[in-house]
A = this chain, B = another copy of it.
């Protein structure tokens, strides 16, 4: 018991005793066993977080910040990868919860029924990210995907494009952005924008170059496209360049995310900026508050911003 105190609450132990314990630790190579500790104390200082993919720069900015902030309070973050699949999230949750994390961070607000049940039974703080809803499981930090889609549509229209199309992966958030985009078109009394959806099998797949061929076949009249990510849009740019389509004159290209490479596109890529790091930061803070016992309800809308650059700057 004294040894335990010397390690965790050194102020409660006599200097001499502490020194003896430290010497013994050093000499024996002792490493405490937090399984045993967690079993007794009922807290693990573990936060379990799951994202669709670690390759995506938005998620990695978010993670970097989340992990960093939690670290300052001595919480460790363990990571799951869902590959945009709610069943994978469910399986991950089922095994993860047996490690008794002190908090959980999820991507999105769509979860299987069992996931919800597990989560609610666990009785720990939960943060849902990247989407906004007034009725989260517990805490939510995100923005309205539908509004983002609307904003993209409005931007393209404002730039003078008449037939904007959609190019996106099949993840559900991109789907909701597309929905907002199409609704905005509808409200304008325009025909429904053509939409090309490809499977998000892996981060490399469905690259702009290949999918653009499909788009140009299916919608030869399209004069602008809103892509579900910047890297996709960059691929589209490359394809347009290859087939001699002038951007932005003949084709407007808009990305999503405002990753650093968007600026490096030729021409520089117009995009919707989302602050991944900010989401991670707010999520970490909210989670810490909850784990401290704070029960005030939290729902944070971090918003997004339209970034006009050369790729949609049509000279009329």
Assembled-state Cα–Cα distance A37/B209 (Å) = 50
On whether the beta carbons of B44 and A54 are closer than 8 Å, the reply is no
Interface residue count on the A side (C-beta < 8 Å)? 55
Per a CB cutoff under 8 Å, which of B31, B122, B234 touches A118? B31
Per a CB cutoff under 8 Å, which of B35, B37, B96, B231 touches A261? B231
For A293, list chain B residues within 8 Å (CB). none
For A264, list chain B residues within 8 Å (CB). 207-209, 234-235, 237-238
Assembled-state Cα–Cα distance A123/B81 (Å) = 28
On whether the beta carbons of B31 and A35 are closer than 8 Å, the reply is no
Is the C-beta of A53 less than 8 angstroms from some C-beta in chain B? yes
Known: A81-B64, A235-B264, A266-B238. A36 touches B39 (CB 8 A): yes
Is the C-beta of A203 less than 8 angstroms from some C-beta in chain B? yes
Is the C-beta of A76 less than 8 angstroms from some C-beta in chain B? yes
Query: Can you name the residue of chain B whose Cβ is closest to the Cβ of A231?
Result: B261
On whether the beta carbons of A98 and B54 are closer than 8 Å, the reply is no
Query: Can you name the residue of chain B whose Cβ is closest to the Cβ of A242?
Result: B266
Minimal beta-carbon separation of A261 from chain B (angstroms): 6
Is the C-beta of A33 less than 8 angstroms from some C-beta in chain B? yes
Minimal beta-carbon separation of A200 from chain B (angstroms): 13
On whether the beta carbons of B238 and A60 are closer than 8 Å, the reply is no
Minimal beta-carbon separation of A212 from chain B (angstroms): 11
Query: Can you name the residue of chain B whose Cβ is closest to the Cβ of A46?
Result: B99
For A260, list chain B residues within 8 Å (CB). 204, 207, 231
Query: Can you name the residue of chain B whose Cβ is closest to the Cβ of A37?
Result: B98
Minimal beta-carbon separation of A253 from chain B (angstroms): 13
Minimal beta-carbon separation of A93 from chain B (angstroms): 10
Assembled-state Cα–Cα distance A38/B235 (Å) = 47
Query: Can you name the residue of chain B whose Cβ is closest to the Cβ of A42?
Result: B35
Please give the residue numbers on chain A whose beta carbons come within 8 Å of chain B beta carbons, in ascending order: 29, 31-39, 44, 53-55, 57, 59-61, 63-64, 67, 76-79, 81, 94-100, 117-118, 121-122, 202-204, 207-209, 231, 234-235, 237-238, 241, 260-261, 263-266
| Extra 11 A-B pairs, beta carbons < 8 Å, given A29-B121, A31-B98, A37-B98 | A29-B117, A32-B98, A33-B98, A54-B60, A55-B60, A55-B61, A207-B260, A234-B261, A235-B261, A238-B266, A266-B266
The 4 A-B pairs with the shortest beta carbon distances in the complex, nearest first, are A55-B60, A238-B264, A78-B78, A34-B98
